[in-house]
Structure 1
Amino acid sequence: MIKRISTLFLLFTLLITLGLGCNGSSEAERLANTPVTLTIWRVFDDDSTFTGLMTRYRALHPNVSFSYRELRYDEYQDELLQAFAEGTGPDIFSLHNTWIGQYKNLLLPMPETVTIPYSEERGSIKKEIVYTLVEDPTMSTRELETKFIDVVAGDVIRNYQATTRSAIEEKIYGLPLSVDTLVLFYNKDLLNAAGIAEPAITWNEFQDQVAKLTLIDRNNNILQAGAALGTSENVERSFDILSLLMMQNGTEMTGSRGTATFGTVTGDISPGMQAVTFYTDFANPLKQVYTWNDEQTNSFDAFVSGQAAYFFGYSYHLPLIEAVAEKLNYSTAPIPQIEGGQTVNYANYWVEGVAKATDHEDWAWDFILYATDEKNVTSYLSMAKRPTALRSLVNNQLDDEDLTVFASQLLTAKSWYQGNDAGVTEEAFAELIDNTISGKVELSRAIKDAQNKVNQTY
């Protein structure tokens, strides 16, 4: 009797297996032939940089098509929130690494597995399409920490609780295609004219060089800026520069409870206040390093027009410089560090996430995993000219003339959790800079006010 049951079970299993290969008879075939359109919203990259990834994914899954939309940065968040409110949001969307807390409730964390149909042609004489439904594991938090550079895990891994009664667990809320780092752009002609053979390596050297490079007339007008920094509104990414200085100086940006602590005074010393003073001194006419003020043009414009010797920027500035100042004799160098201090660089990047409202959860996450995989992401990085987010590709980019400086800083790049409204946090830093320069508010009060404003968003 037992033998007969075993035989029947074996026959049943065989029929089920064969059935998967029969036309029109399997769930795998149905899913493989069901049209799916993944809507993707991103900023800065047009669809040409993404075409290769989408085309190759379609070759594996012909039923999947893509609707790709590039939006302007200044309209992106408004368009995104309106679309989600109206139920017309994308399946996959980019968000800045500092926005994840703000958009967490609109994001679908990565599941443990995705179930995807595959088709394969079999048979030498009689060709037959065989369909299989494969449940693939995605990526654990430990795998993410192994594959991606350190800064990524701290940004994309967040606590998740399915219900109020569920245990809290860590989930991945997105994956980056690349990670940019803040570097020093310098005008080689201006440095040569000042007798400076190499760009500064330390901040002490940087201060000395800025003093040599700055030209001021008798009326105290700045004719040539040694560096474009010290103020808020007319310095691109002034928030990033000040954050970097704070972290390099040992400022604890957030505490154990997750709230902002950059304004905390330890004894008689406040690393955060020291960083603010260092930064704003470049806009203080009473200081030897005075080189910039709020009457100057935008820092990028000053650099490309030859009015500023140093400019702080990212890899995305490279094509912008080539577009408006093709003949500018410039290069890039690593960000200066505090002499004898721990090397700290600043990360700025975008993450690809899946909308909670998507109807194609498995397909969306499968595509993100595919796009960010080492074998596939290289085409995007080459086309977009961006630094990698993967550890395994860092050494390759060290040999890339355009990206070597950016790539050299990836392993020491950091960011910090800026609350649930990164825009408010940036405004708080801008006010901190402005209040310090004007002297209307004592620095100790100004930095506390900024800290309190940030904490209101947590």
Structure 2
Amino acid sequence: MDTPPKNNANNTNDLTSFAGTYPTDDTSQSQPPESGVNQAAESNAPTADPSFQKSAAQQTVQEEPKPFLDTAAQTPAPTPASLQPADFGSPTAAEASDGSSPPPIEGGFPSMPPDQNAANEPAAAQTGSAPITDNSPFNFAAPEGETSVPPPITPESPPQTQTAGAPPPPTETPFTVAAATPPPASGSNTIKRVIMVVVIVLVLIGLGFGAFALVGRFLTGSQPVVLNYWGLWENEQGLASLIEEYKATHPNVDIVYTKQNPKQYRERLESAISRDEGPDIFRFHNTWVPMLKEELAPAGETGYSAQEFSSTFYPVASQDLLISGQVYGVPLMFDGLGLYYNEDLLRAAGVTAPTTWEDFRTAAYTLTVKDASGKIVTAGAALGTANNIEHFSDIVAVMLLQNGATPTNLVSSEAKQAISFYRQFAEAPYNTWDETLDNSISAFANGQVAFMFAPSWEVFTIQQLNPQLKFQIIPIPQLPGNPINWATYWVEGVSTSSEHKDEAWEFLKFLSSKESMVKLYSEQSKLRAFGEPYSRVDLAQTLINAPYVGAYIRQAQTARSFYLASRTFDNGINDQLIQYLQNAINSMGQSVSVDSAMNTAQQGFSQVLARYFQ
């Protein structure tokens, strides 16, 4: 029988005090990296076209977290004057040998921010004898150079006297054909007749055009405007009541909602729009703006102004969707990362939910249970690897931002510190996770890991896998100073190929109103545990203390985004950057140095970013 599991909680008294940052990589290995691409590329990503899209490297927060790097021990790469990096030192040989406590953390990461009318009545016919000079087919005037000749004049016959015995004149009956009356002898009368005919014809033409315009206006007014709406995650049932409410006040507008399959959705969307067969309204991810700059139509008079948009939604929405003073999308929801924890595991170990990275690292080590061979039986935290951790790229991205790194520059000291800190959770002997464990979502649902990071919608996955599991969600840990959180959310946009852009933006403004969002959340909550978290600032207080979803609302004001958002299925900027990052983390698990791994990943990042920011 195997030796009973060993609980590392018994060794927590020997933990070195957490000093504040990610450890630097002490390895001296110089072997070539095993990740990334083989082609050489520029080391720095080009800048976005400022007329449409901000550069990825410009996503910098204005807050300045309190640095906690020992600047006397290490000189970091140049950073803004207000952002001083830190380091997390590596475990000493003595500490690594006894395995009784995690290595001391001596470093830090400053902050960086990853917004027809009826036709006119014909003029009254004019009288007179002005000549008609136009070339209209209805002009009956004599051809130029010729003189109008009146018919010949027939002399009147003298009166006849009836003689005796002559028959009486015939009596007129309805069938009697009267003798033709000779035309007037005057030529001016003929001209007047021609003029009258022309005037009558012109009046008839005018009335015809007027009638045509009136009929056209009538037909147009009765024909509904059809707005085709492509959605992704919500069923038609959740939107049906709001669509009917809008149609009641806009009877001329019809909205046809279609839920799309997320696989290859972006490619199908772009292809359909390029053929003028796409939707009028469609859902897209907040990070897709660089890829959809030819397909997104800015808001017009019926949509949001820049000022109204900025005051309505969270700051990250303005950073992502407000470009050169124009709004390119409307978020109907917000999401990010939350720290999930198993209530029973923390209660049994006497551990409280952490709020800082120092407390988190200590708690994760305490909650990790290993058997005599060092195999993890219960994991403290799902961190450190890439293959079996859902949303690992989101986690690494927010660590980079919190540490003051620019995510487009992976070779900076701040970036290397953050990634090295992430990797420590999977490096023996102080690891709280490893590659042998199940997928992080499954492991958490089965009670095999105490902490994991995930968006709000993973709640539905957990509840489906294990309805009995007791868990809570809190905001993610922070470094000392101003907090920086993560944003990954979906947006509604209007197609450049739509023939009804104004009507589409008017509907989106209705859909994103305060009243509509409340109704939408209520309808969605009838189908699942909760609806999509509100994207409007004025609705924050209604959900800030709600179970599960409240943690995300509390982080929304300080959230940032970058092109490392997981599960967007874009086969584009996110998926491509994530692949290079995954290769880098995997190579570090095979003893490749952080320097070598980041150099290779940087080449891949530069290639991808150049493709979308030319």
TM-score (norm 1): 0.79
Q: 1:28 to 1:410 in 2, by over 3 A?
A: farther
Q: What residue is the counterpart of 1:455 in the other structure?
A: 606
CA distance, structure 1, for counterparts of residue 599 and residue 229 of structure 2? 40
Residue 489 of structure 2: aligned partner: 349
How far 1:429 moved relative to its partner? 1.8
Q: Which amino acid aligns with 2:436?
A: E
Aligned residues: 385
Separation in 1, partners of 2:217, 2:327: 27
Task: After TM superposition, give the deviation of residue 210 of structure 1 in Å.
Answer: 0.9
1:142 maps onto 2:296 in alignment: no
Q: What is the rounded CA distance, in whole Å, between the counterparts of 1:221 and 1:84 in structure 2?
A: 53
Q: CA offset at residue 305 of structure 1?
A: 1.0
Residues 146 and 218 of structure 1: is their aligned pair in 2 closer, same or farther, counting only changes over 3 Å? same
Residue 86 of structure 1 deviates from its aligned partner by: 4.5
Instruction: Choose which of 307, 318, 322 in structure 2 pairs with 1:153.
Output: 318
Q: Which residue of 2 aligns with 1:10?
A: none
Change (3 A) 1:335 1:28: farther
Judged with a 3 Å threshold, the aligned counterparts in structure 2 of structure 1 residues 222 and 27 are, in CA distance, closer, same or farther, namely farther
Q: Quick one: distance in 2 between partners of 1:228 and 1:423?
A: 21
Aligned alpha-carbon RMSD (Å): 2.2
CA deviation vs aligned residue, 1:211-268 (integer Å, no higher than 9, x gap): 1111222333221111112111221111110011111111133xxxxxx23x243xxx
Equivalent of residue 532 in structure 2, options 369, 372, 386: 386
What does residue 191 of structure 1 align with?
346
Once residues 215 and 420 of structure 2 are traced to their aligned partners in structure 1, the CA distance between those partners, rounded to angstroms, is 68
Amino acid of the residue matched to residue 397 of structure 2? S
Residue 309 of structure 1 corresponds to which residue in structure 2?
450
SS, match of residue 104 in structure 1: coil
* SS across alignment from 1:351: strand
Higher strand share: 1
Deviation at 1:330, TM superposition (A): 0.8
Q: Is the 8 A contact 1:194 1:213 kept in 2?
A: yes
Moved more, 369-378 or 274-283: 369-378
Question: What is the 5 A alignment of 1:215-364?
Answer: 215-253=369-407, 260-261=408-409, 263-265=410-412, 270-286=413-429, 288=430, 290-338=431-479, 340-364=480-504
**C-alpha separation between the residues in 1 aligned to 2:506 and 2:219?**
18
State the 1:443 CA deviation. Answer: 1.3
Deviation at 1:292, TM superposition (A): 1.6
Deviation at 1:366, TM superposition (A): 1.2
Q: How does 1:81-92 map to 2 (within 5 A)?
A: 81-92=270-281
Q: Note the alpha carbon deviations across 1:345-378, whole angstroms, 9 max, x for none.
A: 1011001111112122111111111111222122
How many Å separate the matches in 1 of 2:288 and 2:600? 22
Counterpart amino acid of 1:333? I
Cα offset for 1:26?
10
Give the whole-Å Cα distance in 2 for the aligned partners of 1:322 and 1:145. Answer: 36
- The answer to whether the 8 A contact 1:418-1:454 is kept is no
1:211 aligns to what SS in structure 2? Answer: helix
Which residues in structure 2 correspond to 1:154-193 (within 5 Å)?
Answer: 154-158=319-323, 169-193=324-348
User: In 1, Cα distance between the equivalents of 2:220 and 2:418?
Assistant: 57
Q: Which has the higher contact order (CA 8 A, sep 6+)?
A: 2
Report the structure number with the largest CA radius of gyration. Answer: 2
Give the equivalent residue in structure 2 for 1:368. Answer: 508
* Equivalent-residue separation in structure 1 for 2:465 and 2:299 (angstroms): 41
| Cα distance in 2 for residues equivalent to 1:157 and 1:425 | 24
Q: Compared with structure 1, are the counterparts of its residues 298 and 143 closer, same or farther at alpha carbon in structure 2 (3 Å cutoff)?
A: same
Could you tell me how far 1:43 is from its partner in structure 2?
1.7
CA distance in 1, matches of 2:523, 2:600: 43
73-82 vs 173-182, greater mean Cα deviation: 73-82
- Determine the structure 1 residue equivalent to 2:143: none
Cα offsets for 1:113-150 (capped at 9, x unmatched)? 14xxxxxxxxxxxxxxxxxxxxxxx3222221111110
Alpha carbons 1:213, 1:225 under 8 Å: kept: yes
With over 3 angstroms needed to count, the CA separation of the structure-2 counterparts of 1:139 and 1:336, relative to structure 1, is same
Q: CA deviation at 1:81?
A: 3.6
1:387-409 superposed Cα distances (whole Å, 9 cap, x missing partner): 21111111121243342211111
The alignment's TM-score, normalised by the length of structure 2, stands at 0.60
SS in 1 for 2:425: helix
CA–CA distance in 1 between the matches of 2:508 and 2:284?
Answer: 14
Q: Which moved more, 1:232-241 or 1:401-410?
A: 401-410
**Change in 2 beyond 3 A, CA 1:31/1:314:** farther
Q: What SS does the aligned partner of 1:205 have?
A: helix
* Distance (Å, rounded) in 1 between the aligned partners of 2:415 and 2:217: 58
Query: Which amino acid in the other structure matches residue 285 of structure 1?
Result: A
Cα gap change, 1:29/1:432 in structure 2, threshold over 3 Å: closer, same or farther?
farther
The alignment status of 1:377 with 2:528, answered yes or no, reads: no
Question: Would the aligned equivalents of 1:246 and 1:275 in 2 still touch at CA under 8 Å?
Answer: yes
CA contact 1:178–1:381 (8 Å) conserved in 2: no
> Aligned letter for 2:544?
L
Distance 1:293 1:325, change over 3 A: same
What do residues 403-448 of structure 1 show as CA deviations (whole Å, max 9, x unaligned)? 22111111111113569722211212212221222223x3123223
**Structure 1 unaligned residues grouped into runs of 5+:** 1-23, 115-137, 159-168, 254-259
Q: Distance in 2 between matches of 1:285 and 1:28?
A: 77
How much has 1:207 moved relative to structure 2? 0.8
Q: 1 or 2, which has the higher helix percentage? A: 1
- C-alpha separation between the residues in 2 aligned to 1:31 and 1:139? 28
- Check conservation: 1:32, 1:61, Cα contact below 8 A: no
| Alpha-carbon distance between aligned partners in 2 of 1:380 and 1:399, rounded to the nearest angstrom | 19
Stretches of structure 2 lacking an aligned partner (at least 5 in a row): 1-212, 525-530, 566-571
Equivalent in 278, 286, 289 of residue 97 of structure 1: 286
SS in 2 for 1:438: coil
